[in-house]
Amino acid sequence: MRFIFKTDYDQDIRILKHGGYWWSYGILLAALIALPFLVGSYLQSQVVFVFIYAIVGVALMILTGFTGQASLGHAAFLAIGAYTAAYLQKLGVPFIVYFPAAAILTGIVGAMVGFPALRLTGIYLVIATIAFAFIVEEILARWESVTHGNEGMRVRTLDIVGMPLPRDGEAFYFLCLLTLVGSIVLALNLLRSPTGRAFVAIRDSETAGKSMGIDLAAYKVKSFAISAAITGLAGVLFAHKMTFISPEMFTLLLSIEFIMVIIIGGAFGVHGAVFGAIFIVMVDPFLTALKDDVPVLAASVASSFGMASDAAAKLRDTMSSIGSAAGLKGAIYGLIIMMFILFEPYGLYGRWLKVKLFFQLFPLYKKATFKRQKTYVKSERNR
Amino acid sequence: MSFFTVDSISLQFGGLKAVDSVSFSVAKGEIFTIIGPNGAGKTSIFNLISRLYNPTSGKLFFEGSDITEVPPHQIAKLGIARTFQNIELFENATMLANLLVGRHCHATTQLWQDMLFLPSVRRAEKEHRHKVEEVIEFLDLQAYREKLIAGLPYGVRKVIEVARALCSEPKLILLDEPSSGLNVEETDDMSFWIRDIRTELGITVLMVEHDMSLVNRVSDRVLALNYGKVLATGTPAEVQAHPDVIAAYLGA
Amino acid sequence: MLDFIQQLVSGIALGCVYGLIALGFVLIYKATEVVNFAQGDLMMMGGFFVFTFIGLLGLDYWLGFLFAVCGMAVFGMATERILVRPILGYPQFSIVMATIGLGYFLRSIAGMIWGTDDLKIETPFSAGVLKIGDLVLAHDKLSVIVATVILCAVLYAFFNYTRMGTAMRATSENMLAAYYMGIPVKRVVSLIWAISAAVAATAGVLLAPITFIHSNVGLALGLKAFPAAVLGGFGSIPGALVGGLIIGVIETLAGFYLPQGWKDVAPYIVLLVVLLVRPQGLFGPSMRKKV
């Protein structure tokens, strides 16, 4: 257990609270910088997706985790960012202009969503964001002069002042890493400043916030705008990574995936967004492995334990047919969500903290430290 | 013009007159208490003053200016802070964060400055922290800085609410039943603090209270309320001797 | 003019479909403050149940109907026991997420068990039409309208005039207080999930001839029924019906009179506009926190 002797207010303001963090996060960053030179292109590509999902996760964390405003419409913000990039690129606008432009445009749209959301809470807000996302999806499909409708749009290779950044290249990887680190720093800066505290205040008690001088409307709109703008940045990267975008890529299911990122990661800290993104992106490779490798492995294990070779082959076939059953991904997604909410309500980051505390306090760790309070009394209708 | 004036204010919920043309004024540096049976409209008056409710008729004046139309989030900036009857703290934040929210009405930095955490933000943060530490010192809350509100006992939360209100450096503080749910010792502490808030910090106190011993100990003047109407105003002794007040409490 | 009336009538029929599913949303919310995003998928499961009983096992339609509804009631109870009860009392949003997960799971499992083709059953309502003057209304749609109205009336009466209904309303306001007052909260919650699943199954069976039985039908209809419930004011039974009718009529009329694409969006636009004016929906009570 580390005790920090505080002699200065700056110590509470700093993002990295003590020297140990400089080491651990420094090593992590160094590893991430070295990564593209060490691993194959497939894994590198997966990590880029982790970055993009984590950026959206951070954005959603600001809105849902800190401000307490649920949103099932973030796929629409991603779409707006992606389409802005694709369209402006087609017009010949350079990346250094359309990258921030996408963020600004998405931010403005986010603020516009924020206004009607001012009076809505809970489930009413959820449905309003869903409705917004549907409307955006439909506009993308119908506004053919700009978006090419359901045919979708090709996105050319990213180009920074004449230097091409192909989607599989190291440079693109670093761009995504930089954007992620930037948005994380931004979120942490917000958290330690009056704006972020106002967000948290809105989450916990709107009435008290109002009486403490927080303009609820202004801060909710700000939260929506910031969250949308960051998602817009992720959208630009997403468009360039996919090289092709069409309206059916940005459906409600994608919004649900984004919410899963923060639920699985743990919706109370920026770490959670990153943990959740890693998990969600890795579900796909995991399923592929389930389909290809596990049956073969199981069969060889079975035959090495003396199972007849034809029986082992049969086992392999049965297992791979289960693994490749249509819709297995949906079932596993569903199971993951339910399991996390039932057994790991604080998400992966919560588990991380628990493990850390276990070793710090060993052998005095108490399970009850993290016991979640249930409230049977408060009705969420009277907020 | 006196420091704070409520001028024949009324609040109507449907057919029910929760507050019925109540008038009173509070002098600077006074401890003014509103008493009355449950449902008399005491908290409604507070909610009117902090602009959570819109009055049906009547006006509010603070330091000579009309605040009847001011939006609720600007009330704190004018110098009126409040606590709540059933504690409205930000449960999932540390006490320090709660108190810093109390400083929100003095925040000067813009959103983009906050995002980049410019040196000006850092300077402002230290300033805020300094003021918060003064309040922590004043109310003896040093032990709880990093604690989450959700894990603190009721009595401490009650004090933290007062602390949060004080952090906004108010000129007038509204305390809604500061002693409810506190034991005798804690109530004693609270009565000392209320007097200190007036004498040391020079803040005018307007409070709603049920505990008559506390009321007698600290109040300069008392207003008794029943069914939204003023029964009597005066010193604690005068009000308690007033026949209408006795009738309202004893039901005679 | 005749066109308009014909469209209006089919809009009402569609609206009743939405209303019927919305009713399920509303019931669970009314009793437990849980928003069940898997409601559409429960309806879908009801459809597959009835297909199993009638299409595969060859039972009589009404017997199959009964079995499907009872089966789904048990299924709803089991869901409540396994998934919902452990997380009662947690923030609303985590419960919403859990039911979204349940929806994913059910869709996928149903696809694996019953395949991904459109399935169909023979019903007594399949062929006939009702003609009033020049208006035409198919019997299957008529059956939905009648069932929706009856179920709304019965459940409304149940909530407002029976002891159990009162107990359910008390549970939703304050679970702990209800428990202390001797209301068997766990049984109440169980029961409401059973009723809600049974209502969903009824919808599934009645819709089987109209929309066919498919694993994704629940999601598609659920996403329309959910705005209907919100529009009516979540937690109001007449609200669910009215909300469903509004969404259904707007969708049909927009599909007929407006250019392509408006059909799917118009209900959501109306929903947003209504929520702007009345954030609590049409029939939802306006509540604010007391401080």
What angle, rounded to 10 degrees, do the helices at B95-102 and B119-139 form?
110
Q: Is A131 close to C271, i.e. CB distance below 8 A?
A: yes
Question: In the predicted model, what is the mean pLDDT of residues B120-147?
Answer: 93
pLDDT of residue A96: 92
> Is the confidence at residue B220, as pLDDT, over 90?
yes
Q: How far is B142 from chain A (nearest CA, A)?
A: 13
Please give the pLDDT value at position B252. 54
CA distance B148 to A281: 33
In a domain, C291, yes or no: no
Q: What is the pLDDT of residue A62?
A: 95
Question: Which helix or strand (DSSP H or E) is residue A139 part of?
Answer: helix A122-142
Measure the CA–CA gap between A207 and A167, rounded to whole angstroms: 48
Is C288 within a domain? no
pLDDT at B173 over 90: yes
DSSP B94: B
More confident: A290 or B150: B150
Helices (H), C233-261: 237-257
| Residues shown for chain A | 383
Can you tell me the distance from the alpha carbon of B61 to that of B49, in angstroms, rounded to the nearest whole number? 10
Architecture of domain B1-79+170-252: 3-Layer(aba) Sandwich (3.40)
Share of chain A above pLDDT 90, in %: 46
State the average pLDDT over residues C186-213. 88
Cα–Cα separations (whole angstroms), residue B212 to B157, B206, B219: 22, 15, 10
Domain ranges of chain A: 41-251
Asked if B168's CB is within 8 angstroms of A205's CB, the reply is no
| Interacting residues of A317 by C-beta distance below 8 A, sequence separation 6+ | A295
Q: Could you tell me which residues are beta bridge partners of residue C213? A: C119
User: Which amino acid is located at A148 in the chain?
Assistant: H
> Do A338 and C88 make contact, defined as CB atoms within 8 angstroms?
no
Interface subset of C 44-103, CB within 8 angstroms of A: 83, 86-98, 100-103
Q: Are A29 and A233 in contact (CB under 8 A)?
A: no
pLDDT in tens, C239-274: 889 999 999 999 999 988 888 778 888 889 988 888
> Which pair of tokens denotes residue B206?
């307007």
Tens digits of residue pLDDT in B194-211: 999 999 999 999 999 988
C232: nearest CA in chain A?
A: A124
Element of type H or E holding A342:
helix A328-343
Q: Whole-angstrom Cα distance, residue A366 to residue A354?
A: 10
What does the domain layout of chain B look like in residue ranges?
Answer: 1-79+170-252, 89-168
Residue C149, pLDDT above cutoff 50: yes
Task: Tell me the C-alpha distance between B204 and B64, whole Å.
Answer: 15
At A328, the pLDDT band (50, 70, 90 cuts) reads: confident
pLDDT classification of C286: cutoffs 50, 70, 90: low
According to the model, what pLDDT value does residue A383 have?
Answer: 44
**Residue B144: partners with Cβ closer than 8 Å, 6 or more residues away:** B95, B152, B156, B160
How far does CA C246 lie from the centroid of its chain? 15
Query: Mean pLDDT lowest for which of A365-379, B154-168, C216-230, C276-290?
Result: A365-379
Whether the Cβ atoms of residue A110 and residue A228 lie closer than 8 Å to each other = yes
Given a cut of 60, whether residue B58 has pLDDT beyond it is: yes
More confident residue, A224 or C140: A224
Euclidean distance between CA atoms A79 and A61, whole angstroms: 19
Nearest to A335 among C105, C173, C276 (CB): C105
- Please give the residue range of the domain that contains residue C214: 2-277
State how many domains chain C has. Answer: 1
State the CATH number of the domain containing residue C146. 1.10.3470
End-to-end CA distance of chain C: 55
Mean pLDDT in residue range A146-162: 87
Supply the pLDDT for residue C73: 95
Residues of chain C contacting B43 with CB distance shorter than 8 Å: 291
The complex's ipTM works out to 0.91
Residues on chain B touching A59 (C-beta within 8 angstroms):
none
Contacts of C290 in chain B (CB under 8 A): 86
Q: C148 and C23 in contact (C-beta within 8 Å)?
A: yes
At residue A375, the pLDDT reads 63
A203 close to B (CB below 8 A): yes
